[in-house]
Chain A
Amino acid sequence: MPSSQQVSTALQTVPEAFFREAESLVRRIASVVTPPSEFSFSIDGLVIRCRFLDPDLVEKIRPSFEHLASTAPDVSPDLTIHLWSEHPDLPAVPRPHPLMLETVRKHLLRVCSDTRYKAFDEDWINSRTWIDLEAGEAFYCVRSAAGLPYYETAAPMRALLNAFLNHHRRQLVHASAVGDSRGGLLLVGEGGSGKSSTALLCLDSPLFHLADDWCVIAPGETPRLASAYSSAKLRPDNLHRFPALAARIHNREKLQEEKATLFLNRHFPEKLLRACPARALILPVVTGEATTRIERVAGTVAWRAMVSCTLAQIPGTDRDSIALMSAFSARLPAYRLLLGRDLAAIPGVLSGLLDKLTA
Chain B
Amino acid sequence: MSACYKINEEALSHELIDGEVVIIQFDTGNYYSLSGSAALVWQRLVTPASVTDLSALFSETPAGAADELATFISELVQEGLLSSAASSVSTAPASPVAYVKPVLNKYTDMQQLLLADPLHEVQEAGWPHTKPPEA
Residues on A lying within 8 angstroms of B by beta carbon are 95-98, 101-102, 104-107, 123-126, 143, 147, 149-151, 191, 258, 298-300, 303-304, 307-308, 311-313, 315, 319, 322-323, 326-327, 329-330, 333-334
Contact residue among A105, A298, A313 (Cβ-Cβ distance under 8 Å from B120): A105
**Residues on the A chain within 8 Å of B131, using CB:** 123-124
Measured CB to CB, the nearest residue on chain A to B17 is: A299
- Shortest CB-to-CB span from A29 to chain B, Å, is 17
Segment 13-62 of B: residues with Cβ below 8 Å from A: 13-20, 22, 24, 26, 33
The answer to whether B134 and A313 have CB atoms under 8 Å apart is yes
Q: Which residues of B contact A149 (CB under 8 A)?
A: 130, 133
Interface pair B17/A123, CB less than 8 Å apart? no
**Given A123-B120, A298-B20, are A151 and B15 neighbors across the interface (CB < 8 Å)?**
no
- Lowest 6 A-B CB distances belong to which pairs? A299-B18, A326-B15, A124-B131, A123-B128, A311-B113, A299-B17
A124 to B16, CA, bound (A): 36
B122 at interface, CB cutoff 8 A? yes
Produce 1/0 per residue, B64-100, CB < 8 A to A.
Answer: 0000000000000000000000000000000000000
Minimum CB–CB distance for A191 against chain B, Å: 5
Complex Cα distance, B120 from A125, in Å, reads 12
Kindly list chain A residues whose C-beta atoms are within 8 Å of the C-beta of B123.
Answer: 101-102, 104
A106-B119, A124-B131 are contacts. A308–B110 as well, Cβ < 8 Å?
Answer: yes
Contacts of A326 in B (CB 8 A): 13-15, 17, 22, 24
CB distance from A90 to the nearest CB of B (A): 15
Name the residue of chain A whose CB is nearest to the CB of B129: A123
**Measured CA separation A104–B117 after assembly (Å):** 8
Known contacts A124-B131, A143-B127, A106 near B20 by CB under 8 Å: no
User: What's the nearest-Cβ distance from chain A to residue B129, in Å?
Assistant: 7
Q: Which residues of chain A are within 8 angstroms of B127 by Cβ–Cβ distance?
A: 123, 126, 143
CA distance A147 to B118 in the complex (A): 23
The contact of B20 among A95, A105, A126, A299, by CB within 8 Å, is A299
User: Which A residues are CB-close (under 8 A) to B130?
Assistant: 123-126, 147, 149
Given A95-B125, A126-B130, A258-B133, check contact A300 B119 (CB 8 Å): no
Is the pair A104, B110 in contact by a Cβ cutoff of 8 Å?
Answer: no
Q: Are A315 and B125 in contact (CB under 8 A)?
A: no
- What residues of B have a CB within 8 angstroms of the CB of A329 in the complex? 15, 17
Question: With contacts A106-B118, A123-B130, A307-B110 known, is A96 near B125, CB below 8 A?
Answer: yes
CB pair A330 B17 closer than 8 Å: yes
| In the complex, chain B residues whose CB is within 8 Å of the CB of A96 | 125
Are A308 and B113 in contact, CB atoms less than 8 angstroms apart? yes
- Chain B residues contacting A101 (CB-CB under 8 Å) are 123-125
Name the B residues within 8 Å of A300 (CB-CB): 17-18, 20, 22, 33
B114 on the A face (CB < 8 A): yes
- In the complex the two chains form, is B113's CB within 8 Å of A327's CB? no
Q: Is B135 an interface residue when CB atoms closer than 8 A count as contact? A: yes
Whether B114 pairs with A311 at a CB distance below 8 angstroms is yes
Measured CB to CB, the closest approach of chain B to A102, in angstroms, equals 7
> Complex: how many Å from CA A25 to CA B87?
55
Chain A residues in 8 Å Cβ range of B22: 300, 303, 326
Q: B residues within 8 A CB of A313?
A: 119, 134-135
Chain B: minimal CB distance from A3 (Å): 15
| Sample of 14 A–B contacts (CB below 8 Å) | A95-B126, A98-B124, A104-B120, A106-B119, A123-B130, A125-B130, A150-B133, A300-B22, A311-B110, A312-B118, A319-B24, A326-B17, A326-B24, A330-B17
Closest to B115 in A: A105
Query: Do A322 and B126 touch (CB < 8 A)?
Result: no
CA distance A33 to B39 in the complex (A): 60
The verdict on A106 contacting B117 (CB below 8 Å), with A97-B125, A126-B130, A307-B110 known, is yes
B13 and A151 form a contact (CB under 8 A): no
B135-A191 in contact (CB<8A): yes
Contact B13 A319 (CB under 8 A): yes
Residues in A whose Cβ lies below 8 Å from that of B15 = 323, 326-327, 329-330
Q: Smallest Cβ distance from B117 to chain A, in angstroms?
A: 5
Scoring A123, A307, A308, A327 by chain B CB atoms within 10 A of each residue's CB, the highest score goes to: A123
Provide the residues of chain B in CB contact with A299, threshold 8 Å.
17-20
B17 touches A107 (CB 8 A): no
Q: Is the CB of B18 within 8 A of A334?
A: yes
